[in-house]
Amino acid sequence: MRIRQPIVSVLGHVDHGKTTFLDRIRGTGVVDREAGRITQHIGATEVPMDGLRRVCGPLMEGKEFSIPGLLFIDTPGHESFTTLRARGGSLADLAILVVDVMEGIKPQTLESINILKQYKTPFIIGLNKLDRINGWKVNEDQPFILNLQEQDELLKDELDNRIYSLMGELSKHGFNADRYDRVSDFSKTIAMVPMSAVSGMGIPDALLLLVGLAQKFLEEQLETEDDPAEGTILEVKDEKGLGTTLDSIIYSGFIMKDDTIVVGTKGEPAVLRVKSLLKPRPLDEIRDPREKFDNLHEVHAAAGVKILAKGADDVIAGAPLRVVRDDVTLEMAIEDVLSLTQVSIETDPEGIFIKADAIGSLEAMNHLLGQNDVRILKAETGDVSERDIKEVASLEDPLRKVILGFNVKLLPNVDELAKESGVHVILNNVIYKIIEDYEEWYRKLKHDMEEERRSEYAHPAKFLVLKDHIFRVSKPAVVGVRVLVGRIRPSQSVMREDGRVIGKIVSMQAEKRTLKEAKMGEEVAMAISGPMVGRHFNEDDILYVDIPEMRVPDLMKAELSVEEREVLDHIVEIKRREKPTWGMG
């Protein structure tokens, strides 16, 4: 039984420094050839223990570790984190969440924390861009704990204030956090490591912390035997001169050339034979761009590897991979891969349609949409197709004619079809942005539909008969009015304060234009059939639109303004003087 290196994912808000952090780690010691050299895998960067000791310097002196190093997944961003699934949760054993010390917690940061909590992945916060604090002295690759001693007290106070502010923000969302050297229990408090990814300052502390967390909490989880490999497909790529290849992370066991593998597709799992196992050559060894890979005989966990296998075209990113070395386990592996490829999402016949690049992404989407009370009708991987549009277009409710897509695109000609079919498509590679856009679209459409529905029936409204604006006394009475509350349309009945209905609005005009509607604040000439001015109403009278009794329950549930609600309540009160149960449905 050996201990493998933990797989580490790097997450964070756009522009907070995820890529710089990874670049800095990759750039440390890449050129030298001694033991402990940092090596490039497919989709991952391996930092062996000797390399970690060199980077961490005095911080690791006298300390013994059983883990052989760290394997950083190179695809930064929580969207890729959700793709990286393994049995029972995330492929990543650990994570570092990069936060800009100057900008603090952003919606995407919170989204990342929620996803990490969902997957129960231990993580630390890399408090980046310390070099942007005016006057802070930065020394390349220096541990933060030593760098701090070189700063004056005012700067130390400024950093503390920023940390306390972040602690407050995180606390509001139910998370305890503190600067890492002040944390006594790492299982209860999120450790924050101040750093400058651009200079490497603080990176030794972050690496030491990741190693320490792995050693303390994950040793059992990291045990691996020389069994048939288990892994996850990071990306399906078409490589020039090679064809379809599978960029994979092997997290358990080992894989060999000529092995049989079972991998997930949109349909039934594919059973393939490994033709080649490839890893990238170091940049300084590439003589010919067509020879940028080395062939390997076998690969042991944890590692990133490019697999060449015939018939891999239908394999999907995020799908599980299983190596099979006998017929007995083949059936079990197919069953296992099939169950892991099926999306475990509770659907609702009244929900909406979601699409994502991988199964893990769909599950993360489902989790975050669920927190926002958004129900799901159907969840699928892959780009948005004509079939998707036609399926959604057939739904009756306009509020459900929407497709949310995470890390996917529209297939050719789909955009035009969506517009023609009245299907709204929202695409983004940030889930919180998709939810934000969806809620805005939903609110606007619901409001527009409400407006349309309201225009079809009598609406709570009251208006004032203007003094010196009697143009005709009767048949019909034509008077100038000002709409005080609500909106008025022709064909609506008019009621007095005592509840008596005195006539019906025939037409309305303003500046010689015939109006379909008069809104609050507008002054119009109104023709009313039935009443006579002086007998049934007078100048300065306030009149109301008569509400049919059967419409009251609908109006009670409708989105009305405060003033409209008051007018409706007043009309109901007037009507109930004569009939106490009026409008009760």
Residues constituting the chain: 585
Helices (H) and strands (E) in the chain, counts: 14, 34
Residue 7 has pLDDT above 90, yes or no: yes
Between CA 503 and CA 58 the distance in angstroms is: 92
- The mean pLDDT value for 329-350 works out to 88
Q: Kindly state the tokens that stand for 179.
A: 């600067």
- The mean pLDDT value for 444-462 works out to 80
Backbone angles phi, psi at 572, to 5 degrees: -60, -45
Token pair 């940049």: residue: 283
Q: How many Cβ atoms sit within 10 Å of the Cβ of residue 350?
A: 12
Q: Kindly state the tokens that stand for 132.
A: 């942007």
Q: Provide the pLDDT for residue 585.
A: 66
Query: Is the whole-model pTM more than 0.75?
Result: no
Query: Residue 368's closest CA among 384, 399, 345, 342?
Result: 345
- pLDDT tens-digit series, residues 232-254: 998 888 888 889 999 999 999 99
- pLDDT tens-digit series, residues 407-426: 899 999 999 999 999 999 99
Between CA 418 and CA 390 the distance in angstroms is: 8
Q: Provide the pLDDT for residue 192.
A: 98
- pLDDT tens-digit series, residues 541-574: 999 999 988 888 888 888 889 999 999 999 999 9
Least confident of 39-53, 225-239, 522-536: 39-53
Alpha helices in 85-202 (DSSP H): 107-118, 144-147, 153-172
Asked if 266 and 381 count as a contact pair (C-beta separation under 8 A), the reply is yes
Mean of all residue pLDDT scores within the chain? 89
Share of the chain above pLDDT 90, in %: 63
- CB proximity list for 116: less than 8 A, separation 6 or greater: 11, 95, 97, 123
Q: What are 158's strand-pairing partners?
A: none
Q: Provide the pLDDT for residue 38.
A: 58
Residue 183 has pLDDT above 90, yes or no: yes
Q: What angle do CA 358, 363, 369 make, to 5 degrees?
A: 120
Least confident of 275-279, 508-512, 549-553: 549-553
Q: How far is CA 145 from the centre of its chain?
A: 35
Residue 14 has pLDDT above 80, yes or no: no
Confidence at 285, pLDDT banded by 50, 70, 90 = very low
DSSP 455-500: HHS----EEEEEEEEEEESSSSEEEEEEEEESEE-TT-EEE-TTS-
Burial class (CB within 10 angstroms; exposed 0-12, middle 13-18, buried 19+) of 368: buried
Q: Provide the pLDDT for residue 551.
A: 85
Q: What angle do CA 243, 249, 254 make, to 5 degrees?
A: 100
**Strands in 220-331 per DSSP E:** 223-224, 230-239, 243-252, 254-256, 260-263, 270-280, 293-296, 298-300, 303-309, 320-324
Identify the three-state secondary structure at position 100: strand
- The mean pLDDT value for 110-122 works out to 85
Residue 33 has pLDDT above 50, yes or no: no
Q: Kindly state the tokens that stand for 331.
A: 């059936």
Token pair 């590897």: residue: 305
CA atoms in the 13 A half-sphere facing the CB of 578: 9
Residue 284 has pLDDT above 70, yes or no: no
Evaluate the omega torsion of the peptide bond into residue 302 and state whether it is cis, within 30 degrees of 0: yes
Q: Provide the pLDDT for residue 67.
A: 93
- The mean pLDDT value for 465-470 works out to 94
Q: Indicate which residues carry an active-site annotation.
A: 78
Query: Residue 237's closest CA among 329, 307, 336, 324?
Result: 307
Between CA 359 and CA 345 the distance in angstroms is: 10
DSSP 132: G
Asked if 476 and 528 count as a contact pair (C-beta separation under 8 A), the reply is yes
Domains of the chain: 2-224 (3.40.50.300), 230-341 (2.40.30.10), 352-453 (3.40.50.10050), 462-578 (2.40.30.10)
